[in-house]
């Protein structure tokens, strides 16, 4: 009997299937009762996606995580991008990024990364920053999700450089986790990274230290 068949047979025995032999400890279990799953939790928040209250909460949560947040108008966005990238010197961008965002960042060396012509991890390690869009954000938890689409790029590019600049549009910001997950559920197969602040550890005396292996600095630019 293959391991697959054997494990599945044991599972059936554990759940009371008398024709399935026994588990490794020689047991046959009882059949569980049918389960009704109650869902009385909040499936959406009090505030609409992109509403001022939701944006305010997102900013509050991000600041709490020690991310840097700026709310900008569409017109201010290129200058804000240039500003936060100035220190980094170089930036990697995904193939589908809105080129207008880089319009004011003339002094910054721009590297382009695609799935067909990916930069190596060592290449990425030598680049100062990464600039991406996002798929959705959740204000209650301060979470921003990237799902690998062309304006966000491969997972590696938003991981290896030490500074992540992420542009989030207001309509992408929802209040609750269920609202966020349900937006993502239309494409669950896409590789997702949920980001809630810069990387951190609490492994030493439960003392939180921000900035370990992932980008140590997270800039969020909240655009309309």
Partner 1 sequence: MSTFLGLPGLRRRGTGPDGVPAASADEPFGAVPHPQEPLRWGTSFPEAARETLKNEQLRRNLGHATATIRTKRAAVVDEVPDWEALRNTGSAVKEQVMAELPHLLAQLEENVTARGGVVHWARDAAEANRIVTEIAQAKGVDEVVKVKSMATQEIGLNEHLAEEGIAAIETDLAELIVQLADDMPSHILVPAIHRNRAEIRDIFLARMGDVPADLSDVPRELAMAARAHLRRKFLSARVAVSGANFGVADTGTLAVVESEGNGRMCLTLPETLVTVMGIEKLIPTYTDLEVFAQLLPRSSTGERMNPYTSLWTGVTPGDGPQEFHLVLLDNGRTDVLADEVGRSALHCIRCSACLNVCPVYERVGGHAYGSVYPGPIGAILTPQLTAASGGVSGADDVNASLPYASTLCGACYDVCPVKIDIPSILVDLRAREVDADRGRHRVDPWKAAMKAASWVMSDGGRFGLAGRAATLGHGLGGRDGVISKAPPPVSAWTRERDLPAPPDETFRQWWASRERAAERDARPAVGHQDGEGER
Q: Does residue number 213 form part of the binding site for partner 1 (CB under 8 A)?
A: yes
Residue (37 or 73) nearer to partner 1, CB: 37
Sites for partner 1 among residues 69-88 (CB under 8 A) = none
Q: How far apart are the C-alpha atoms of 186 and 184, rounded to whole Å?
A: 5
Q: CB 77 → partner 1: shortest distance, Å?
A: 25
Binding mask 127-156 for partner 1 (x = CB under 8 A): -----------x-xxxx----x-----xxx
Sites for partner 1 among residues 6-65 (CB under 8 A) = 6-8, 10-15, 23-30, 32-42, 61, 65
Out of 18, 56, 100, 115, point to the residue binding partner 1 (CB under 8 A): 115
Residue (132 or 196) nearer to partner 1, CB: 196
Q: 208 by DSSP, 3-state: which? A: strand
Contacts 24+ apart (CB under 8 A), 68-75: 68/217, 68/218, 68/219, 68/220, 69/219, 69/220, 69/221, 69/222, 70/219, 70/220, 70/221, 70/222, 71/222, 72/221, 72/222, 72/223, 73/223, 73/224, 74/223, 74/224
Q: CB 128 → partner 1: shortest distance, Å?
A: 15
Residue (78 or 178) nearer to partner 1, CB: 178
Sites for partner 1 among residues 164-183 (CB under 8 A) = 177-178, 180-182
Residue 39 burial (CB count, 10 A):
6
């Amino acid at each position: 009997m293959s391991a697959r068949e054997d494990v599945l047979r044991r599972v059936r025995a554990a759940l009371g299937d008398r024709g399935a032999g026994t588990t490794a400890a020689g047991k046959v279990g009882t059949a569980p009762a049918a389960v009704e799953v109650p869902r009385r939790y909040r499936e959406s928040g009090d505030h609409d996606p992109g509403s001022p209250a939701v944006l305010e909460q997102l900013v509050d949560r991000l600041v709490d995580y020690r991310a840097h947040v700026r709310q900008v108008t569409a017109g201010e966005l290129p200058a804000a991008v240039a500003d936060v990238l100035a220190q980094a010197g170089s930036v990697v961008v995904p193939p589908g990024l809105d080129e207008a965002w880089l319009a004011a960042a003339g002094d910054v060396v721009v590297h382009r990364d695609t799935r067909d012509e990916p930069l190596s991890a060592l290449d990425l390690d030598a680049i100062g920053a990464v600039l991406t869009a996002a798929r959705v954000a959740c204000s209650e938890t301060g979470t921003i999700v990237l799902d690998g689409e062309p304006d966000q790029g491969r997972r590696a590019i938003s991981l290896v450089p030490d500074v992540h600049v992420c542009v989030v549009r207001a309509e992408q910001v929802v209040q609750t986790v269920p609202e966020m997950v349900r937006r993502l559920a239309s494409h669950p197969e896409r590789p997702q990274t949920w980001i809630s602040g810069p990387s951190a550890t609490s492994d030493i005396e439960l003392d939180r230290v921000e900035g370990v292996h992932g980008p140590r600095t997270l800039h969020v630019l909240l655009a309309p």
